[in-house]
Structure 1
Amino acid sequence: MTITSPRLAALPGMRHAFFNRDGGVSQGIYAGLNGGIGSNDDPQHVAENRRRMAQTMGVAPERFLTLYQVHSPDVVVVETPWDNAARPKADALVTTIPGIALGVTAADCGPILFADAEARVIGAAHAGWKGALTGVLEATLDAMAKLGATRSRVVAAIGPLIRQPSYEVGDEFVARFTSVDPAYARFFIPAARPGHAMFDLGGFIRMRLEAAGVAQIDDTGIDTYPDENFFSYRRSVHRAEPDYGRAVHAIALEG
């Protein structure tokens, strides 16, 4: 039901999980462990799936937290749990509070889990192309540093996401990146279709983390698009499905 990062798993006093579709109660296009509150799945199924994920993480369901994600660089410092109906609009969370699971939802975008075990500071970020380009990873590290983390000690794990062989984009997308930094052209290779390219989101995320001072990085290497055991927004679009499920990926400090 879960994928783990060897580097994060080696750290004391915390749990983490990149959840796939195994072990859930949802049906149809959401089949499996859909944790997306924003999906049109049966809310009772989503609640039960999230309860099971919370149990895996060793926290109470009301302490298994996710955000209303908006593809931003915004970060929330978590001090107390919130009601799901009032979850903040942001794309990353950080905390020093034990017993709270920080979760981000994804269905092709990049889930990144962070930890400084010595300072007991953790974080989770949702990094699609827009968030990664506009600084959500750096903002997460800044927020962790304000809580006492040191970047050289931080371990970051890149979870399942859409990989370059599956991520076709138009030339205008490439231009958006190269207008920020011409060196970003290296994250694109030509696609079979003229006027298109294949984007390396995982490589781009790794580069941004390394440039921000993170030296200890794990990457699951999983491509969500061809792997039916993971939810994929792009796959659902190509199949003309009306909606799609969302995986939750989470990290928590043990009490």
Structure 2
Amino acid sequence: MNLDIVTAPPLGDLPHGFFGRDGGVSTGAVAGLNCGLGSGDDPEIVTANRRVAADALIEDAPLASVYQIHSADAVIATEAWPIEERPHADALATNVPGLLLGIVTADCAPVLFADRQAGVVAAAHAGWRGAIGGITDAAIAAMIRLGAQPKNIAAAVGPCIAQKNYEVDPAFPDPFLEENPENARFFIEGPAGRLHFDLESYVAARLAGAGVGRVWLAGLDTYASEDRFYSYRRATHRAEPNYGRQLSLIGLSPDKS
């Protein structure tokens, strides 16, 4: 089965990847490697897709994920929770070798983190609400509790909606400008005279402001790349009944000792 896996050079040889929609067994509007349990897809099929993705990184590894709520809440994972017992959060961190951390997105920004010196990794789901609320800061704080240091953390921002396709309402910038007037740089006027938001750059700025040692951007647009990625906004514009979610994973290699 061919999988489309985007990897980030700063994360080195750690098991990680931003998965596209290639591969998998979902059909219809969510055809491919749909990993969203809330997508309306058959849960057994979604679970099978998630297993395929996890096995591509660490065979038979447990996969810890959260029930995502567009929050600024991060948790520490020591094991994989049963699906029905997943904590409500949008980031998770671990120092347990062999445990994969996963978050799902469909235009929001997936962020993978690693302090390889400390042996700590994290994953975060950063939509605009979570981003301005501080979800990346919360992920970093969880890593610090496990012994990481911001200057040693590498963060990778995966495929998300690009500014040219992220049109927003006139009042949308208000909380960003209240946070910092310099956030005006993340907005431009689009061809139709409406504002467009640069989510990827805003998330990168938050990471840099938190003292992260290195920030890498995938620079891939989920909205524009229909054959490669799922997109909530694209599905909404087409009045499609549902939409898939792509999975992003990171972990520490299993302890061989």
TM-score where L is the length of structure 1: 0.95
Counterpart residue number, 1:25? 25
Deviations 1:94-126 (A, max 9, x none): 000011110110000000000000100000000
Query: Within 5 Å, which residues of 2 pair with 1:42-81?
Result: 42-60=42-60, 63-81=62-80
- Alignment RMSD, CA only? 1.1
**Structure 1 residue identity aligned to 2:203:** I
Query: Within 5 Å, which residues of 2 pair with 1:10-159?
Result: 10-11=12-13, 14-60=14-60, 63-159=62-158
Deviation at 1:59, TM superposition (A): 4.4
Counterpart residue number, 1:227? 225
Counterpart residue number, 2:197? 199
2:173 partner SS: helix
Alpha-carbon distance between aligned partners in 1 of 2:232 and 2:114, rounded to the nearest angstrom: 28
Unaligned runs of 5+ in 2: none
CA contact (8 A) 2:64 2:79 kept: no
The sequence identity of aligned pairs, in percent, is: 46
Deviations 1:108-163 (A, max 9, x none): 00000000001000000000111110101111111101110011110100000001
Alpha-carbon distance between aligned partners in 2 of 1:27 and 1:81, rounded to the nearest angstrom: 27
Counterpart residue number, 2:6? 3
Alpha-carbon distance between aligned partners in 2 of 1:81 and 1:105, rounded to the nearest angstrom: 16
Alpha-carbon distance between aligned partners in 1 of 2:215 and 2:92, rounded to the nearest angstrom: 19
Alpha-carbon distance between aligned partners in 2 of 1:74 and 1:174, rounded to the nearest angstrom: 23
Alpha-carbon distance between aligned partners in 2 of 1:59 and 1:95, rounded to the nearest angstrom: 18
CA contact (8 A) 1:16 1:250 kept: yes
Alpha-carbon distance between aligned partners in 2 of 1:215 and 1:83, rounded to the nearest angstrom: 34
CA contact (8 A) 1:25 1:31 kept: yes
Alpha-carbon distance between aligned partners in 2 of 1:208 and 1:30, rounded to the nearest angstrom: 32
Deviation at 1:87, TM superposition (A): 0.9
Counterpart residue number, 2:175? 176
User: Which stretches of structure 1, 4 residues or longer, exceed 3 Å deviation after superposition?
Assistant: none
**Structure 1 residue identity aligned to 2:28:** G
Q: Quick check: 1:218 aligned with 2:221?
A: no
Counterpart residue number, 1:238? 237
CA contact (8 A) 2:65 2:80 kept: no
Deviation at 1:42, TM superposition (A): 1.6
Alpha-carbon distance between aligned partners in 2 of 1:44 and 1:138, rounded to the nearest angstrom: 34
Unaligned runs of 5+ in 1: none
CA contact (8 A) 1:108 1:231 kept: yes
